[in-house]
Amino acid sequence: MHPTTRPKSLNPIPLYSLFIANAISLVGNVFSLIAIPWFVLQTTGSATQTGITGFFTILPVVLTGFLGGTLIDRLGYKRTSIIADIASGVTTALIPLIHFTIGLEFWQLLILVFLGALLDTPGGTAREALLPELAEQAGMPIERVTSLTHVIERGARLVGAPLAGLLIGVIGTANVLWLDAASFFVSAAIIGFVITAPKFVEKEEKTGKYFDELRDGLRFIAHDKLILSIVIMVMLTNFLDAIFGGVVQPVYVKEVFGNALNLGLLIAANGGGAVVGGLIFAGIGHRLPRHATFVAAFVLTGFRFWVYALYPPLAVLLVTTFITSIGAGPLNPIIGAVEFERIPPNMRGRVFGAITAGAWIAMPLGMLLGGVLTETFGTFIMMIGLAIIFLITTLSMAFIPAMKEMNRKN
């Protein structure tokens, strides 16, 4: 032992501050997730227009995922996060502002929804890219950090969804959006004053042509068979989830139960189950085989479609949703751990952004298709179809050779 060697001091404050900033922003996002489609259903009564609104919510996620990742690497993770939060706060605040002043037309809502979601992906990607260095500062294993990150994400649903449903009934959907806007500004302030940007980002700024760096990120994904397989499979399951969460579930709840609070409770049950699953994985996940856990967890989440198709009482649906959602807990932490192990630090922005865009690329189509199909076939046929297709898709992951590489840590 060298007497002059001093142990590296640990500082968990930046990591926990990032957790807090994410939690505040995500609760606000859940408010939008419930308030905006409910607002459309209340004012138009149309599942198709609800689907169109969902399309304009998801489309910018795909566009900025592909095109914004390189910008993240150039601007730096901290700076991008702050800019994204401020921009999202301003555009979200414009929805109730216009509604209460000159009146909000449907086409205007679509524009504001699009602009409000435009920088969500770069902001979220930038905060995610900060995690490895903050985890190292805190002395925490990356599996635990990714698990806690996604526990917070799911926990936002647990807290935000029933609160949003309650507030919609008390103060109205437009007023709930004021709270969403405020959450972005609070998140920006926390990131700005507490967290220090990693030094390597500065070294990588403006080292090449923008689209050359963008192609580098896409090329990395194409050459890594495991990452590519994850993107394709998540794209398929997100497509099905978009049909369900964006259209079928709100229409189902409005038909069967009749109010936004019950929709909020179901989303909260989903978040609560995922929180439990995430906490379990945070404690023991680093000792579990990743591939088997990933497949089993994904299959479990799909059983909720079968239960919805039975039109059970609300209490049964809430309990079943909670249990099946436990499977969602390990999914993103496993994906996150694999990504951090395989993606070079200086490429996180462009690769993470491209991965997000690839995973979400089918969701706008799912929103549009879900609206049309739900009006054509009704919620029962849609639930049965979703249940069968989701089961086939998730079981197939057990037989893809590249996905077995999850178990190998680089």
Q: How many C-beta atoms surround the C-beta of residue 302 within 10 A? A: 23
Task: Reduce the DSSP state of residue 179 to 3 states and report it.
Answer: helix
Domain boundary assignment for the chain: 13-407
Distance in angstroms (rounded) separating the CA atoms of residues 45 and 39: 9
Residue 232 CA to chain centroid, in angstroms? Answer: 16
Kindly report the CATH class assigned to 13-407. mainly alpha
Give residue-wise pLDDT tens across range 136-194: 888 877 777 877 887 787 677 677 777 877 787 787 777 777 887 888 888 888 988 88
CA torsion 352-295-365-310 (nearest 10°) is: -140
Instruction: Give yes or no for a contact between 255 and 300, defined as CB atoms under 8 angstroms apart.
Output: no
pLDDT of residue 5: 42
DSSP H or E segment with residue 36: helix 13-44
The CA radius of gyration of the chain, in Å to the nearest whole number, is: 21
pLDDT of residue 2: 45
End-to-end CA distance of the chain: 29
Is the whole-model pTM more than 0.75? no
List, in sequence order, the alpha helices (H) in 224-288.
225-243, 249-256, 260-284
Distance in angstroms (rounded) separating the CA atoms of residues 345 and 279: 27
pLDDT of residue 6: 42
∠ CA 249-49-170, nearest 5°, is 65
Residues of the chain falling short of pLDDT 70: 1-9, 43, 47, 61-62, 65-71, 73, 154, 157, 197-214, 349, 353, 408-410
Q: What is the DSSP string of 77-130?
A: HHHHHHHHHHHHHHHHHHHHHHHHHT---HHHHHHHHHHHHHTHHHHHHHHHHT
pLDDT of residue 205: 45
Task: Reduce the DSSP state of residue 209 to 3 states and report it.
Answer: coil
